[in-house]
Amino acid sequence: MSEITAPDYLYELWDANWDDGPLGNYKVLRHEITKKTARRIYFVMNGSRSAFVDRQRIEADGEIRHGYTRRLLHLNPPEIPGQRESPSLPELKQAMADAHPDRGGTDEAFIAARARYERARDKTSRTEGER
């Protein structure tokens, strides 16, 4: 009887909130390896699409960026980063003031800082209203 082996995987650290910046909602995605040759490792990405990476580079470095998707793939499961502590309202207000164009900041930086401050302020007022 032949020995059944567990499938091999390539791993990817995925932040579910990537569009809002790294918010720490991480999970490790597994991409099953389907074939290994001397030059390439073939795997299934997202459960359906076949892809490959350079075997020598990933085995030498432990990680590699995949082609045009630029996803960082690992040979071993990556460690999930610790949760960042959210800045306080006074810190966000100070960052907003520092980003103001009158203080040398740019319009874009000020708008982004103000949006972060307002989201945090609204979130704080909602949680205090629930008490």
Q: Tell me, yes or no, whether 14 and 70 share the same domain.
A: yes
Residue 22: predicted pLDDT:
55
Q: How many domains does the chain have?
A: 2
Q: Tell me, yes or no, whether 63 and 19 share the same domain.
A: yes
Residue 48: predicted pLDDT:
82
Q: Is residue 2 part of a domain?
A: no
Q: Is residue 4 part of a domain?
A: no
Residue 81: predicted pLDDT:
77
Asked whether the whole model's pTM tops 0.85, one would answer no
Domain residues for the domain of 117 are 89-129
What's the whole-number mean pLDDT along residues 92-117?
Answer: 89
Q: Tell me, yes or no, whether 50 and 103 share the same domain.
A: no
Residue 62: predicted pLDDT:
93
18-53 residues labelled b (16+ CB within 10 A) or e (exposed): eeeeeeeebeeeebebeeeeeeebebbbeeeeebbb
Q: Is residue 81 part of a domain?
A: no
Residue pLDDT, tens place only, 50-74: 999 999 999 999 999 998 888 899 9
